[in-house]
Chains A and B, each alone.
Chain A
Amino acid sequence: QSVLTQPPSVSAAPGQKVTISCSGSSSNIGNNYVSWYQQLPETAPKLLIYDNHERPSGIPDRFSGSKSGTSATLGITGLQTGDEADYYCATWDTSLSIVVFGGGTKLTVL
């Protein structure tokens, strides 16, 4: 059972928009920065968003992040088949003194 709760799966058609939620508490998301990762099959994760909403260089602006209270959201617009992957949120948990990841969300582009 993950400390951060993500939907197991989301799906949408090519060209559409999808959002992935990440729900936590005041000990993690509520008081720490959130980052998001994309993991394509059989590859290492890749940083998509850090500091809640910042994109590393090279990440297209189709990917966006936001945070409100104890929840964070990853948004992906203009969906492409290459976006099919698992997506994870992560942050520091002050009470547990560990990095916590969400359970992951599998994105299917129909």
Chain B
Amino acid sequence: QVHLVQSGAEVRKPGASVKVSCKASGYTFTYSYMHWVRQAPGQGLEWMGWINPNGGATIYAQRFQGRVTMTRDTSINTAHMELSRLTSDDTAVYYCATGEVPAAIQYNFWGQGTLVTVSS
């Protein structure tokens, strides 16, 4: 059974960075891309990018270029998403998601979400 378990809620001040983790189990971690999607309070879903755990290649949405870094540690089946230079607009629930087909936009499995609050 596939599980994606994310790290706990975080509070940061404007200008700081945050790193969210996503531990995968129940499947071959390097098989499927890991995507990151965020959702601001009361808003819709927004894609941030993906990482291919097999090799570490990444694709980021242009609006996050230069601020987001996605990494993975295959020894512990964990993906990380770090976002820097935070502003209040980055307050959101951050999800990791993956699917049964490596490069497809098909998110069969989601983490529980990590609330990141940016406040002075």
Contacts and interface: CB of A to CB of B under 8 A. Distances in A.
Interface string B79-98: 00000000000000001010
A45 B110 contact: yes
B112 interface: yes
B109 to A, nearest CB: 8
Nearest to A34: B105
A35 B104 CA distance: 10
A97 B44 contact: no
Interface string B43-63: 011110010000000010110
Nearest to A56: B108
Interface in A85-108: 86, 88, 90-92, 96-104
Given A2-B44, A44-B95, A99 B110 contact: no
Given A86-B44, A88-B45, A104-B44, 9 more contacts: A44-B110, A44-B112, A44-B113, A45-B95, A45-B97, A51-B106, A90-B107, A98-B61, A100-B47
Interface of B: 35, 37, 44-47, 50, 59, 61-62, 95, 97, 99, 104-108, 110-113
19 contacts: A2-B44, A35-B106, A37-B107, A39-B45, A44-B113, A45-B95, A45-B97, A46-B110, A47-B99, A50-B106, A51-B104, A56-B108, A88-B44, A90-B105, A99-B35, A99-B47, A99-B50, A101-B37, A102-B44
6 A-B pairs closest in CB distance: A99-B47, A44-B110, A50-B106, A104-B44, A101-B45, A98-B61
